[in-house]
């Protein structure tokens, strides 16, 4: 195997092993030794590729978010169904949500790779702003940003906090038929949320 392919393969193995470890234990509880063992390499390789456990964690988050954005795609004209797509993606990929929750617990303030992530969200806000429409560009951007945050919150809460879902609904999304029913309700709520005020009253 050419050296370049070997390096890429080793890095991919480390990222995959690290994603499992960080999702399960977070930044503080993850162990470099377990990551190296699962990847089948020495601990020194981790520091050689990434420099530190924290930088490896940042690389894992970055890779997971890139995959997430690719799978989800940009906001669509049907913003309610977009909320359904967010719900579907996190139900199928709960590991990403766990990584994001660990990240929120670990970092107090700025995040690694914050600028490109902010730019990505600004692009999503711009797309939503066009879909929502407004006479004022400033008002439209502000409304779109708040709407994006609300759509994400609505869509991910049942997966992020299954215990709250069970306590409130008396069941979980994993119950027979529960996932489809809950998704449909989230889409209906999102549709009301993004509807013009005159439509929301009917």
Distant-in-sequence, close-in-space partners of 12: CB < 8 Å, separation ≥ 6: none
The answer on pLDDT for 155 being more than 70 is yes
pLDDT, residue 202, reads 38
pLDDT, tens digit, for every residue of 17-35?
999 999 999 999 999 999 9
pLDDT, residue 61, reads 94
* Mean of pLDDT values over 137-161: 85
**How sure is the predictor about 201, in pLDDT bands with cuts at 50, 70 and 90?**
very low
Closest residue by Cα to residue 185 from 169, 198, 201? 169
**How sure is the predictor about 179, in pLDDT bands with cuts at 50, 70 and 90?**
confident
**How sure is the predictor about 137, in pLDDT bands with cuts at 50, 70 and 90?**
low
pLDDT, residue 7, reads 52
| Cα–Cα separations (whole angstroms), residue 98 to 52, 70, 107, 142 | 21, 19, 14, 28
More reliable by pLDDT, 77 or 186: 186
Burial string for 182-195 (b: 16+ CB within 10 Å, else e) reads bbeebbebbbeebe
pLDDT, residue 1, reads 46
The answer on pLDDT for 176 being more than 70 is no
More reliable by pLDDT, 103 or 175: 103
pLDDT, residue 73, reads 86
Residue indicated by tokens 């994993």: 174
The whole-angstrom separation of Cα 65 and Cα 90 is 12
């Amino acid at each position: 195997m050419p050296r370049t392919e070997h390096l890429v393969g080793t890095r991919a193995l480390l990222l995959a092993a690290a994603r499992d470890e960080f999702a399960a234990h977070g930044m503080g509880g993850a162990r470099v030794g377990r990551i190296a063992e699962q990847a089948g390499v020495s601990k020194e390789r981790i520091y050689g590729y990434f420099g530190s456990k924290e930088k490896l964690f940042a690389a894992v988050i970055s890779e997971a978010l890139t995959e997430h954005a690719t799978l989800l795609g940009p906001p669509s004209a049907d913003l309610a169904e977009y909320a359904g797509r967010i719900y579907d993606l996190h139900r199928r990929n709960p590991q990403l949500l766990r990584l994001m929750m660990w990240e929120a617990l670990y970092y107090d303030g700025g995040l690694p790779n914050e600028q490109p992530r902010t730019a990505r969200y600004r692009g999503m806000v711009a797309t939503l702003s066009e879909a929502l429409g407004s006479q004022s560009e400033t008002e439209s951007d502000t409304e779109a940003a708040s709407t994006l945050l609300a759509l994400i919150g609505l869509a991910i809460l049942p997966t992020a906090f299954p215990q709250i879902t069970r306590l409130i609904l008396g069941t979980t999304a994993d119950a027979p038929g529960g996932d489809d029913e809950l998704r449909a309700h989230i889409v209906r709520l999102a549709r009301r949320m993004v509807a013009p005020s005159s439509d929301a009253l009917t």
